[in-house]
Amino acid sequence: MAVGVFDSGLGGLTVLDAVAKRLPDVDFVYYGDNANAPYGVRDADDVLALTRAAVSRLWDEGCDLVILACNTASAAALRRMQEGGLPEGKRVLGVFVPLIEALTERDWGDNSPPREVDVKHVALFATPATVASRAFQRELAFRAIGVDVEAQACGGVVDAIEDGDMILADALVRSHVDALLRKMPEPDAAMLGCTHYPLMEEVFQEALGTKVRVFSQAGLVAESLADYLIRHPNMRGGGAVSKFLTTGDAPKVSNRATAFLRRKIIFEAA
C-alpha cells in the first residue's frame, strides 16, 4: 500500500529518499508538478489550486495519505485544504510541523500549550511565497513563546538547483545568508524551510558558522511519518506500487532526478 509524496518539482525527492529509507516496507507514489514549478513565486490562490489538483491525482492512485513535501504548498494550501474539508478517510500532512517540533524539542504529536524553549533567535530560509505566508511563525506560536524569527526569502536558489547549476546555488545561498546576518547577527538556529535546501545544507552551515544549529527537513519528516503510521496504520492507503509521476517532460525530469538523487529514477507522465 502506498503513501503519496507531492512537490512542485524535485526538492521533495530529498524527503522521499529519507522516508523510503526509514520505511522500506512502504510504497510511495511521488508526484512532481514540474510543468508549473517553481511555486515559490506564485500567489497563494494559485498554489492552492495547483496543490489541490496534485493531491487529487495522488488520491486517484490510492494514496489515502499525502505528504506535501513542498514548504510553499504546506504554507499556502495545507490549512485552507484542511479547513475546507477533506474526503472521508483522506489525510494531507505538511513538512513544517516536524521541523518545529524538533526545534522546540517536543515529541511528535505533542499538542500541549506553548512554552518557553532554549532557542530564542531563529533564522528561517525559505521561498518568497513561504516567507510571505508567515505559516512558519504561526505554527511555531502554537508550540513556543519568546522566539524571535527572522525570515529570508531565498529567491533563485530553487531554480538554480532544478537547473543543476550548483555553483550559482552556492553563491545565492551565501548571499542570502549574508543578508539575513545583517538583520540577525547571532541566530541560535537556522531552519531550512524548503525541501530543495538539504542539498545545500553544508553551504548554509559553512556560511552561518559552527555555532548555529541548522535544521533540515528530510530526516525529521521521515521520523515523524514513521511515528504517524504506527499510530494510524490504516493510512497507508490502497495504492500498491511505487512510482514517479510528473506534469513535465518525463524523460527530462527523469534525467534531472537521477542526477539529483544519484540513482536511476524513471518518471511517468501524470
| DSSP letters for the chain | -EEEEEESSSTHHHHHHHHHHH-TTSEEEEEE-GGG---TTS-HHHHHHHHHHHHHHHHHTT-SEEEE--HHHIIIIIHHHHHH---TT-EEE-SHHHHHHHHTT--TT--PPPEE-S--EEEEEE-HHHHHHTHHHHHHHTTEES-EEEEEE-TTHHHHHHTT-HHHHHHHHHHHHHHHHHH-SS-SEEEEESTTGGGGHHHHHHHH-TTSEEE-SHHHHHHHHHHHHHH-GGGG-S--S-EEEESS-HHHHHHHHHHHHTS----EE-
Which one of 47, 69, 70, 265 is the catalytic residue? 70
Phi and psi dihedrals of 86, rounded to 5? -105, 155
Q: Active-site residue 70, yes or no?
A: yes
Q: Active-site residue 63, yes or no?
A: no
Q: Measured between alpha carbons, how far is 138 from 71 in angstroms, rounded to an integer?
A: 14
Which one of 5, 68, 189, 194 is the catalytic residue? 194
Catalytic residue numbers?
Answer: 70, 194
